Amino acid sequence: MLVSKPALAFTILTAVAKTVVSFVPSPSQPPAPATATTTLSAVPEGWKGGFKDTHPDFCYQVVQPDLSDLPIMGNLENIGKNHPHAEDLLAPVLLADISRIGYDDDGRIWSIICPQRGRFIPGLGTVFIEVTVNGVRGWVDEPTHSGYADLGVVGKLWIEADENPVVEFISNILDDMHFPFSKEHSAKVRAFQVGKPYEEFWPMTNGTDPAFYHPQFAQHWEEAFSVYNLEVEVGKQIMTGEKLVDDFNAMIIELFNSLSGNTFAPGQRFDGFDVSAARWR
């Protein structure tokens, strides 16, 4: 029996609805414990540094560093580059040790990898939610445990089929039709600097956000190599121009928003999102 595209989309949406709520951290759960394998360390062998001093506006001697002379680099543009140094970011609200800053011996940042979460749905596959960095520029300074970066992100939501050959066959067909059954065809939402929809790249600065109080359990000074903060505002859904796909993506995003406190809703702000960087040795 043939199934219409809208009916198939509704069936998939129903399956996702039963488990997408599990992405939302429960307020009653204790914070994630610190990772025992992360430790502070001395400046690593091979470190040269100095990139932050290549321009007088790059460092914190000014009110706020200005990196406008640097090009915005896409993460995928630098896959082949050697990143001898990296900082793993601790984001206990989601999962520990799931993001990373990649920088070279001089301290220039080439990539920042942001969180991705997945949830397996029996009979369907895995639903993924990711904050994808689409551009970055900046620096890290090992001796002073500091850094600064401009970055931009896009929110993504998609489904990857399990190893069931029938499900995989159907999902491949839907993916070819540009439904969100791969990261390439994921449902996407814009993001920008808070209050400035024209600013698609915004700063990540030293320290915790001064705008609100940080309880002791949320601080990581005893294990963090350095601490940074940033804020972001969520924009509208990014349309593909294909009505059926856009409508399906809108349903997926709306469902996720209803079960996650409007995480991907336009106007949602994440102020003072702190990330603590710990060197892994």
Q: DSSP readout, 13-40?
A: HHHHHTTGGGGSPPTTSPPPPPPTT---
Please report the pLDDT score of residue 187 as a whole number: 96
> CB–CB of 160/181 below 8 Å?
yes
Residue 12 structure tokens: 């998939």
In a domain, 103, yes or no: yes
Average pLDDT over residues 128-154: 89
> CB–CB of 12/160 below 8 Å?
no
Residue 219 structure tokens: 């601080």
In a domain, 33, yes or no: no
Please report the pLDDT score of residue 190 as a whole number: 95
In a domain, 35, yes or no: no
Please report the pLDDT score of residue 67 as a whole number: 92
In a domain, 39, yes or no: no
Please report the pLDDT score of residue 26 as a whole number: 41
In a domain, 29, yes or no: no
Helical residues (DSSP H) of the chain, grouped into ranges: 5-17, 165-176, 243-259
* Count of domains for the chain: 1
Residue 168 DSSP code: H
Please report the pLDDT score of residue 208 as a whole number: 81
In a domain, 101, yes or no: yes
* Measured distance CA(208)–CA(214) in Å, rounded: 8
Please report the pLDDT score of residue 256 as a whole number: 81
Is the pTM for the entire model greater than 0.95? Answer: no
> CB–CB of 146/212 below 8 Å?
no
Burial label for 234, CB within 10 Å (0-12, 13-18, 19+), is buried
In a domain, 59, yes or no: yes
User: Which residues are within 8 A (CB) of 125 and not within 5 positions of it... i.e. 6 or more apart?
Assistant: 159, 160, 161, 162, 167, 171
* Measured distance CA(69)–CA(57) in Å, rounded: 9
Please report the pLDDT score of residue 74 as a whole number: 81
In a domain, 25, yes or no: no
Residue 165 belongs to domain spanning: 5-20+44-278
Please report the pLDDT score of residue 4 as a whole number: 56
